[in-house]
Structure 1
Amino acid sequence: MNSEGPSAEPSVQTPSDQGNLLRAVAAGDRRAFAALFHHFAPRIRVFLLRAGAPSGVADEIIQDVMLTVWRKAGDYDPDRASPAAWIFTIARNRRIDLLRTERRPELDPHDPALRPVEGEDAETALGRLELGAKLLRAIEDLPKEQEEALFETFFRDRSQGDYAEESGLPLGTVKSRLRLAFARLRLALEEAT
């Protein structure tokens, strides 16, 4: 590695030096690992900071990356990538993993939105089902053009303007059909209750 003496830091300047150090790390050489760490840690830090990682997060990622280098140095294949490319790929992947976990926060079991819905009593459930059936029959009884306007704008969640443009109808006609459909539905439901 280096012929400057036993206490000299191993050279990390060339890809060949770096490859030799990785092989030494794979064999358990702590001095070789220290040389790689001192060479790559500041460079990885700059890479991560430029990628938008906060300083503390960058430091954590560096520790994780270098621990991976220590553990996986034997997996390094010089035919696939340079030592630097291999190490920076590990850093990039750790950053991506971190971003994924940030986007999927852990669920809070005390979140009120996650509480089970209070069960409704049988009478309320039956009333809700009967009302739904009446509404369905009332929609089926609408004139075809009103039913279509209702389906396209309400159930498919399209704007009235989009439906008017696609169907070739004037916007006023679409609005009129919807107004008539809602009036008929309201009347049908009032008569049914």
Structure 2
Amino acid sequence: MPTSEELNGWAQAVAQSGDRQAFAALFKHFAPRVKSYLMRLGTSEGLAEELAQEAMVNVWRKAQSFDAGRASASTWIFTIARNLRVDHFRRQGNRMAEASDDEEIDQPDPLPQPDVLLLVRQRESGVREAMAQLSAEQAQVLRLSFYEDQPHAQIARELGIPLGTVKSRVRLAVHHLRRLLGGLEP
């Protein structure tokens, strides 16, 4: 798993010299993560795949605009993907307004039903409350591991603690969360 410094270095190598190997490494690392991110936003799998590919093409084309001083490579790439998704649905909305009744066009992903939204909000609220009950150290490693998708070795380096300590904190935190969220169905 590459560090954020390595990812930034690869993005800068693509920007400065069109380094194909650096781009291949970026693509291998980010394409599946971007697709997953887009699907978590409610994008269908096929469209998420298409937008992830388009985002990575834009990374190659717009590499000169990458500035590690303003944002990390991951922030920059995920922002490109999010903007492509927004643009896609804006175009779809305009096409829908202009389309005739018999013209077939792709529909945006349907919004979740109110009962599903309520359940999701309840779960999110429960998780936030449970996270607040964890020790600061446990909450920190969980956020880095699960929300920022950092590998344990990188977390250990970043926090200056042994890898075993990171693994123990994650394991204990997950165990504690399971106890606190016992009534929540997966």
1:78 pairs with one of 68, 71, 75: 68
Q: Is the 8 A contact 1:21 1:33 kept in 2?
A: yes
What's 1:31 paired with?
21
What's 1:99 paired with?
89
What CA RMSD, in Å, does the superposition of the two structures yield over aligned residues?
A: 1.7
Instruction: Report the Cα distance in structure 2 between the residues aligned to 1:108 and 1:43, rounded to whole angstroms.
Output: 34
* Residue 89 (1) aligns with residue 79 (2): yes
Alpha-carbon distance, 1:19 to partner: 1.1
Amino acid aligned to 2:84:
R
Q: Following superposition of structure 1 onto structure 2, how do residues 1-193 of structure 1 map, counting pairs within 5 Å?
A: 13-26=2-15, 27-105=17-95, 107-108=98-99
**Which of the pair has the greater relative contact order for Cα pairs under 8 Å at 6+ separation?**
2
Instruction: Report the Cα distance in structure 1 between the residues aligned to 2:69 and 2:53, rounded to whole angstroms.
Output: 26
Instruction: Report the Cα distance in structure 2 between the residues aligned to 1:53 and 1:37, rounded to whole angstroms.
Output: 20
Asked which structure has the greater CA Rg, the reply is 1
Alpha-carbon distance, 1:110 to partner: 8.7
Structure 2 unaligned residues grouped into runs of 5+: 103-186
Instruction: Report the Cα distance in structure 2 between the residues aligned to 1:25 and 1:40, rounded to whole angstroms.
Output: 14
What do residues 40-88 of structure 1 show as CA deviations (whole Å, max 9, x unaligned)? Answer: 0010011000111111111110111001100111111111111100100
Residues 53, 79 of structure 1: CA spacing in aligned structure 2 closer, same or farther, 3 A cutoff?
Answer: same
Structure 1 unaligned residues grouped into runs of 5+: 1-11, 112-193
Alpha-carbon distance, 1:101 to partner: 1.3
Instruction: Report the Cα distance in structure 1 between the residues aligned to 2:100 and 2:8, rounded to whole angstroms.
Output: 48
Count of matched residue pairs: 100
Q: Is the 8 A contact 1:22 1:74 kept in 2?
A: no
Alpha-carbon distance, 1:108 to partner: 4.0
Q: Is the 8 A contact 1:22 1:73 kept in 2?
A: yes
Taking structure 2 as the reference length, the TM-score comes to 0.50
Instruction: Report the Cα distance in structure 2 between the residues aligned to 1:67 and 1:74, rounded to whole angstroms.
Output: 13
- The alignment partner of 2:43 has SS state of coil
Instruction: Report the Cα distance in structure 1 between the residues aligned to 2:85 and 2:55, rounded to whole angstroms.
Output: 10
Instruction: Report the Cα distance in structure 1 between the residues aligned to 2:40 and 2:100, rounded to whole angstroms.
Output: 36
- The alignment partner of 1:104 has SS state of helix
Moved over 3 A (4+): 108-111
Taking structure 1 as the reference length, the TM-score comes to 0.49
What's 2:124 paired with?
none
Alpha-carbon distance, 1:38 to partner: 0.5
Instruction: Report the Cα distance in structure 1 between the residues aligned to 2:14 and 2:60, rounded to whole angstroms.
Output: 6
Q: Is the 8 A contact 1:61 1:91 kept in 2?
A: yes
Alpha-carbon distance, 1:109 to partner: 6.7
